[in-house]
Structure 1
């Protein structure tokens, strides 16, 4: 059982109403109900009687409420004693990012955020980079980690955290692609492994169009991580952000090609609907990222 569970229970004790507590915690009633059931299973007793309106605490629930209050109070005192500023801000945020972002610089950001805002629940969903901006636009995610699009909607705000060059990569062993050993590479013949859509695809398509070259597309895949894997297997030449390559388990099996002119780099950062930035939870994570950027923490991680 963690501190978020305890805070959720105290919210239920305060409102004695599943809907009002879930609204305060910024989570669905079904999610809160499952969390309560999990706590009761761990405690081994019924904590709240749900058949009444309002809800009512059992004897075990009353004891557990005191335990939750004391535990959270002791935790905040400990954090203050070691010099960590602890906020009473609470609720939940949904964040969408790629798998690469989740285990690279994002881990540092979320660690710092949780230290400062222990009562805020972060729901992290992962998927294809091309889905990031649409999820921010639709409101499906409160905030996303994404590459800044060339045309940013007026409804969105973007905060750049770090640049990431866009690289041409080939198999480490060029024997599978003898075309790349030629002094003058015929890019119209080289098999390419490209993303189906998104900013990287737009920029590489533009690169070929500027040279009046029709690319020989061997495969179109969803997700930059899959491109690195296919290139490592000798399927062709791919184009991926440097951030993806550095964090790929297949990075030792590919090489970066010195292609001129270079593709325009990505600007990787946080994106959210501008109107939502007035929400205290979004302001909090926005400010934490700004503080980290000022100390160059994220750049060092990359």
Structure 2
């Protein structure tokens, strides 16, 4: 199986756009199209449905995507092993985290890592922390900074780096004291640990919340709360590190939603990669 074709296929499967996939792969659209057609001919199935406006993965394409990612990871791990034996660890490490995590935790970790392994390039993606573990399971990232779920998925290893409470916040200009939850507009995350904890807490009290907005990303929740749109929930560390920290305040009384444990997660099988293992081995768990 041609690794180059597999990489081109994965790029197209991720972008679902020939122009963008060709550009990110540093090939012409015609070269990309020719390689995808050759791959489909080799497999005897269509991997994409395409017309002048759209590109969509077929059912066979979705199944093949998981296989392609696995083969590419195994090939990269083998290449890394050869370089590690020659004491020349080089390659790329893909990391996913939230914006807050990138400067709260990642700076210190990467500063030490880059000194030890200058030949490893870092590919950093930022986004909603609720998607961190999903991206690891899908094989889209090597490492992710994530909130530890109440039940960790099988095959995932997790090292804690910080624990922060989940807190209710409101704008400094707003006063919701004395009002019931069906009157208070609530800004909540679309998904993730905080959303799960909120659902449990509201259900336990028989409360039907007045949801004003469902938001992706803790930083966006702080922003909306600071503008006076309602009461939100976010990890304390996100609030403390926000440039809008002085525009919000704690909403009392504060319920106990449990700890928001943040840490590094990785697929256990990816620890066979010398590069991933080098990063993982460097991490030290915090003193409790």
Partner of 1:213: 207
Alpha-carbon distance between aligned partners in 2 of 1:90 and 1:289, rounded to the nearest angstrom:
19
Alpha-carbon distance between aligned partners in 2 of 1:285 and 1:217, rounded to the nearest angstrom:
41
CA positional deviation for 1:266: 0.9
Partner of 1:101: 101
Partner of 1:284: 278
Q: What's the secondary structure of 2:283's corresponding residue?
A: helix
Partner of 2:150: 150
CA positional deviation for 1:209: 0.8
Alpha-carbon distance between aligned partners in 2 of 1:112 and 1:104, rounded to the nearest angstrom:
15
Residue 181 (str. 1) matches residue 171 (str. 2):
no
Gaps of 5+ in 2: 8-22, 28-86
Q: Greater Rg, structure 1 or structure 2?
A: 1
Partner of 2:225: 231
CA positional deviation for 1:122: 1.0
Alpha-carbon distance between aligned partners in 2 of 1:237 and 1:99, rounded to the nearest angstrom:
22
Contact 2:187/2:215 (8 A) holds in 1: yes
Count of residues paired in the alignment? 212
Partner of 2:126: 126
CA positional deviation for 1:289: 1.7
CA positional deviation for 1:88: 3.6
Alpha-carbon distance between aligned partners in 2 of 1:181 and 1:210, rounded to the nearest angstrom:
21
Alpha-carbon distance between aligned partners in 2 of 1:145 and 1:89, rounded to the nearest angstrom:
23
Alpha-carbon distance between aligned partners in 1 of 2:25 and 2:111, rounded to the nearest angstrom:
24
Partner of 2:260: 266
Q: What's the secondary structure of 2:271's corresponding residue?
A: helix
Partner of 1:248: 242
Q: What's the secondary structure of 1:181's corresponding residue?
A: coil
TM-score w.r.t. structure 2 length? 0.68
Alpha-carbon distance between aligned partners in 1 of 2:127 and 2:202, rounded to the nearest angstrom:
27
Partner of 1:61: none
Contact 2:168/2:254 (8 A) holds in 1: no
Over aligned residue pairs, what C-alpha RMSD do you find? 2.5
CA positional deviation for 1:261: 3.3
CA positional deviation for 1:223: 1.1
CA positional deviation for 1:165: 1.0
Contact 2:231/2:251 (8 A) holds in 1: no
Q: What's the secondary structure of 2:213's corresponding residue?
A: strand
Query: What are the equivalent positions in structure 2 for 1:57-72 lying under 5 Å apart?
Result: none
Alpha-carbon distance between aligned partners in 1 of 2:277 and 2:252, rounded to the nearest angstrom:
41
Partner of 1:83: none
CA positional deviation for 1:31: 7.4
Partner of 2:84: none
Alpha-carbon distance between aligned partners in 1 of 2:194 and 2:152, rounded to the nearest angstrom:
16
